[in-house]
């Protein structure tokens, strides 16, 4: 059996690590295509080096393009690769532009598509990721969902009455965290290690809807600056797109800043921090796995079960009080015992399911 895996962004590198290992151990031939959506060394190469990911057989160059340009370019370059390799399956992760491009390329050639992390919905159609994940689900033959909530979303959309195979396997990001957490470490690029001995909040901001609007970004930065100065120190690995927008809009972010970090450094920061403030989907889960409260800097989240359990609060930028949300979470007695993301064997279930078909 041969599987073409399409990856291109930081979360996909993390998700693919345990699955690639499971494929290797079960005898499935995997050919990886790196689309180049994240092409900076700090956003790409470091993950391959740290996590022992297989070297991509194909490396595309799609970084820095608009959404539509990126999807069209990746799709057009994937089609001849798929024709040459003739895989049994094309496998994609999550909700990025690379995900949708891979899905469309597979559909063009009639190759069965496998979507890992299917069924997630934020119910916000202003987010490009929402369009990516919905269309990818519709184009898939096999949908691997991380939670029962994701299955319910698919059932509401009629997937249970169509020719789809839906399998709830748990979350491959949990697999990755269990595998690599013991190897997490500080790195000198983070700054003085002594800073992280005290309480601090870990911040990441990169979502298009947050960084592309100068008014919204300015309001968020004002909140972060005030919290950093008066309440709790904040540390943020600065995403390249966020850095570009801050400079373009002439906005001063006055918190502790560092470069984008690798996976092992992020796991170390999660162990050390007091609270997480993020607009990332993956980091919300990693915060939960690390038993840290999280404020999601968005109006909606795909991980509604974390909000329902009180360990995650949504922050509506410009319309709710970020300081209050932080205070409430830090003072609350939180329960991280829920095991709805599986037992850390999602990758093995993916491998076994594909072999059974």
* 326 and 347 fall within a common domain: no
Nearest CA to 115 among 3, 281, 280, 282?
Answer: 3
* 290 and 194 fall within a common domain: yes
* 82 and 205 fall within a common domain: no
CA distance linking residue 156 with residue 219, whole number of Å: 36
pLDDT at position 121: 95
Q: Does residue 273 lie in a domain region?
A: yes
Q: Does residue 288 lie in a domain region?
A: yes
The predicted model gives 270-283 an average pLDDT of: 96
* 25 and 156 fall within a common domain: yes
* 67 and 203 fall within a common domain: no
Question: How much is the pTM?
Answer: 0.92
Q: Does residue 238 lie in a domain region?
A: yes
Nearest CA to 94 among 221, 30, 200, 5?
Answer: 5
CA distance linking residue 182 with residue 283, whole number of Å: 18
Count of CB atoms situated within 10 Å of the CB of 106: 28
Q: Does residue 176 lie in a domain region?
A: no
* 52 and 148 fall within a common domain: yes
At 328, the pLDDT band (50, 70, 90 cuts) reads very high
Q: Does residue 243 lie in a domain region?
A: yes
Full domain range(s) for residue 326? 185-331
* 321 and 347 fall within a common domain: no
* 167 and 193 fall within a common domain: no
For residue 203, what is the enclosing H or E element?
Answer: strand 201-204
Q: Does residue 180 lie in a domain region?
A: no
* 314 and 347 fall within a common domain: no
pLDDT at position 312: 98
CATH value at residue 307: 3.40.50.2000
* 145 and 209 fall within a common domain: no
Active site residues: 206
* 80 and 167 fall within a common domain: yes
Nearest CA to 190 among 295, 264, 125, 291?
Answer: 264
Our CA angle for 82, 30, 168, nearest 5°, is 100
* 32 and 152 fall within a common domain: yes
Which range (98-102, 158-162, 188-192, 243-247) has the least confidence?
158-162
In the chain, the number of structural domains is 2
Backbone phi and psi for residue 112, each to the nearest 5 degrees, phi listed first: -60, 130
Q: Does residue 148 lie in a domain region?
A: yes
Instruction: Write the pLDDT tens digit of every residue in 11-59.
Output: 899 999 999 999 999 999 999 999 998 766 555 677 778 888 888 999 9
Q: Does residue 287 lie in a domain region?
A: yes
């Amino acid at each position: 059996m041969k599987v073409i895996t399409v990856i291109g962004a930081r979360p996909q590198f993390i998700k693919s690590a345990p699955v690639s290992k499971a494929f290797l151990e079960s005898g499935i031939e995997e050919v990886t295509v790196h689309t180049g959506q994240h092409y900076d060394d700090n956003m790409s190469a470091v993950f391959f080096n740290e996590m022992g990911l297989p070297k991509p057989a194909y490396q595309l160059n799609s970084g820095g393009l608009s959404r539509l340009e990126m999807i069209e370019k990746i799709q057009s370059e994937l089609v001849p690769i798929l024709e040459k390799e003739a895989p049994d399956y094309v496998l994609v992760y999550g909700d990025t532009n690379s995900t949708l491009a891979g899905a469309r390329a597979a559909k063009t050639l009639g190759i069965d598509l496998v979507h890992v992390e299917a069924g997630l919905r934020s119910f916000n159609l202003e987010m490009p990721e929402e369009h990516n994940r919905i269309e990818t689900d519709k184009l898939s033959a096999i949908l691997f969902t991380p939670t029962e909530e994701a299955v319910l979303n698919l059932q509401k959309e009629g997937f249970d009455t169509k020719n789809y195979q839906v399998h709830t396997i748990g979350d491959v990001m949990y697999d990755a965290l269990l595998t690599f957490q013991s190897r997490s470490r500080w790195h000198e690029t983070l700054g003085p290690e002594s800073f992280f001995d005290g309480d601090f909040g870990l911040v990441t901001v990169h979502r298009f809807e947050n960084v592309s609007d100068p008014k919204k970004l300015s309001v968020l930065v004002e909140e972060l600056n005030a919290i950093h100065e008066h309440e709790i120190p904040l540390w943020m690995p600065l995403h390249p797109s966020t850095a570009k927008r801050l400079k373009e809009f002439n906005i001063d972010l006055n918190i502790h800043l560092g470069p984008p970090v690798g996976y092992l450094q992020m796991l170390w920061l999660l162990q050390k921090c007091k609270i997480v403030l993020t607009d990332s989907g993956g980091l919300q889960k990693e915060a939960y796995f690390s038993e840290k409260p999280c404020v999601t800097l968005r109006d909606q989240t795909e991980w509604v079960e974390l909000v329902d359990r009180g360990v995650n609060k949504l922050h509506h930028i410009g319309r709710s009080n970020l300081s209050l949300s932080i205070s409430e979470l830090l003072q609350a007695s939180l329960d991280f015992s829920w095991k709805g993301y599986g037992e850390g064997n999602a990758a093995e279930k993916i491998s076994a399911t594909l072999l059974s078909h």
